[in-house]
Amino acid sequence: MIRWYGITTGTKLCGIYWNLFGEYYIDLKRKLSFMTFYSGDSGVFRYKLDTVDTKVIKGDFGFIAQLNTKRAQERRPPENFIKMTEIFDANKFNFTRIKKDEMLFEMKCPAEETTARSNDRGDFIVANVSPLEYCHVLLVPKLYACQPQVLTADSLRLALHALLLSGTWKLRVGFNSIGALASVNHLHLHAYYLAHNLPTETLPAEPFAGPCHLVANYPASGFVFQFPPLKRRSEGSLMGELDFFIKDVYTFVDRLQQSDIPHNIFITRGTPLYAQMSRQHLVIRLYVWTRDFAYGMKDTTAFNAALAELSGHVPVKTEEGYKNIKEKDVCTVLGDVTQEMFLRAKPIALKLFKSS
């Protein structure tokens, strides 16, 4: 099944074709590259990110370390949250306040072109003014609905659509909940390109309950889902399978939210779970990392454990930290922040999926 997507940039509308088999892609990377380049020239970003010092940390996992001192020094100070159920506060920074040039484009579904859209429906891609990497943007679902930073089924669908719109394995999408180093209480996800292989593209897994698998042989304890799934449940196209996938992940994450368990989500292309093959990037892997509460930004260490770091991409804040970082340091942090909440989350996942 082929669907049409419209991306609005200013007053222009650009048609996009895509489907789940990969025959048709717009080069989303090209559009993001152009728009973020334009934004960079117009002074939108807090700093220029022309080149990023990058290295593979020696060891078993192949963690990717990158030096990004400017983000630590010049980014907007994050909110200091005290609970996961913070309501949206219009008096604090939110994405309705961003400059016009930071609004890159809007994503529209074809059905919405023929029906009236409410004023809060628009799904926007906006520039991250303090970028981690190339084309680092924010996906802001229903921007003017002013939703708090709690994952919704619609926002998860938007994230997966964005990934599927890109013909390259280098696009990564992720989410930080409140308590998991989200910095703004206005619903958003991160998307950026990283041209380096991450361990999460090929990590082994253990069967657990239905579509939910456990991450194996990795310092961070977590859960992983695969699309297309190992076991098909839809007799129709893969669009039906995508609906099941979204329902599974959202239901689990919603239970975590209700249980006050902070969580990070990381979505990337990778090898199929349990497949003995060398060809990569055949499926989508979605990781859910449950972790200790981290209210406010902790700047006492060389790096923070959020969606990128837990998945093997480690932006480092200081030159000294970058020079001296070791695999054991990363492993210790990833294990420490995930283990306790992982043990709390396992019974939740088992109850949800044991009959699947």
Which residues are known to be catalytic?
188
Give the neighbor-by-neighbor strand order of the sheet with 189-193: 12-18, 3-9, 103-108, 123-127, 137-140, 189-193, 171-176, 263-270, 283-290, 223-227, 212-215, 205-209
CA distance 99 to 108: 21
Asked if 78 contacts 297 with a C-beta cutoff of 8 angstroms, the reply is: yes
Nearest to 246 by CA among 118, 355, 127, 151: 151
**Which residues pair with residue 102 across a beta bridge?**
none
Closest C-alpha to 137, from 13, 287, 35? 35
* Orientation of helix 327-353 relative to helix 238-258, angle to 10°: 100
Residues written for the chain: 356
**Contact criterion met (CB below 8 Å) for 176 and 182:** yes
CB 205 within 8 A of CB 213: yes
Sign of the CA dihedral with 71 first, then 224, 352, and 239 last: positive
- Quickly list H helices, the chain: 28-41, 69-74, 153-165, 238-258, 307-310, 319-324, 327-353
Backbone angles phi, psi at 226, to 5 degrees: -125, 140
| Measured distance CA(329)–CA(61) in Å, rounded | 12
Task: Judge contact between 267 and 194, C-beta under 8 A.
Answer: no
In whole angstroms, give the CA distance from residue 212 to residue 225.
5
